[in-house]
Amino acid sequence: MSVDIVVPDVGESIVDARVSRWLRSEGDTVAAGEPLVELETDKIDVEVAAPRAGSLARIVHKAGADVKIGEVLGVIDEGAKVPGSDGPKVRGSEGPVSPAVTPSARRLAREQDVPLESVKPDGPRVTKQDVERSLAAERAAPADRRAPGAERRDERVRMSKRRATIARRLVEAQHTGALLTTFNEIDMGAVMELRARQKDAFKARHGVALGIASFFVKAVVGALREFPRLNAEIVGDEMILKHYYDIGIAVGAPEGLVVPVLHDADRLSFAEIERGIRDFARRAGDGTLTLEDLRGGTFSITNGGVYGSLMSTPILNPPQVGILGLHAIKKRPANVNGQVVLRPMMYTALTYDHRIVDGAEAVQFLVRIGELVEDPGRLLVETL
């Protein structure tokens, strides 16, 4: 009996996917529940498992094909025999076959131009660590074995599903919203002094370092309470005001920026915020973020300062109407009690949709964030 392998319903708002890699070849024997094919969506990567044991009789959509939810990817024959054999053929019986690989290993290999077939795994599947070992061995090889020559060449690389979606959404944000950015400057001295005093005790008590991100998440929540239209979205000619605070935190990932969400951020402690952000960064790197991690979001924060950015204009993450950009902390002259002194300063940027947020409101929102961050005691009191 034949059983279809179909594109699963992987979550709300995801309607299509791309076949990134088959982990088995036509004719291979497969066990029920065994991963067969990897799909790439605009949010996460998904493994599709065999619904039944048997032989992979036919692959309908090969790697690189775009598919819709519910489409047939391939067919399993539960009782088929391969002609000329006593049973279904085993993997590798017709020459070399590409190895099974984890999503994080595949991404790293693609970024570093490493042929997966050349990577020797420690286990049944190629892992990110296997690729890293292969890279280290290649870099340690003599230069005359590695240098390809100074050739001039072009390379055509198809965008990943996620990269293409990011590109489309960024363009849509600029075409559909009335985007404007306002800037401010924050003296980070008080936060840095507090962190220096409390970092050891905080780490010992909570098992996580105290960064600056938690201060800004708390400050954003406090400012959103005072300026609720920055925590809203536009639907037709109506404003949907959100009376909860799901703060998106932009983190870098191999396939492009992703924005996992700290749900109910107003209810989280500093330690919970720091743990959540570090967990997002780790799982964005190894490809294990889930749809729940990326769901929703009422306002976003992006920190270009971790890459050295001094100033930038962040783009909205629709349907949100506001995003806060953080930047590098640099010592600059500042007036302190009538004296010019060097202080650790950060430029902040607020991009907002002018259709719903007035300029004066946006400026006051950004100033309010600065007031809260520059006085951490006030931040603790007013955002609880």
DSSP state of 35: E
Length of the chain: 384
Contact indicator for 325, 314 with CB cutoff of 8 Å? yes
Burial of 349 (0-12, 13-18, 19+ CB in 10 A): buried
Q: Where are the beta strands (DSSP E) in 269-314?
A: 299-303
DSSP state of 94: T
Q: Which residues are catalytic?
A: 354, 358
In 3D space, the residue among 314, 323, 309, 337 whose CA is nearest the CA of residue 365 turns out to be 323
In the chain, what is the straight-line distance between the N-terminal and C-terminal CA atoms, in Å? Answer: 61
Q: Collapsing DSSP states into helix, strand and coil, what is residue 167?
A: helix
Euclidean distance between CA atoms 292 and 156, whole angstroms: 34
Q: Where are the beta strands (DSSP E) in 134-242?
A: 179-187, 232-235, 238-241
Look at strands 261-262 and 247-249 and give their pairing: antiparallel
Burial of 171 (0-12, 13-18, 19+ CB in 10 A): exposed
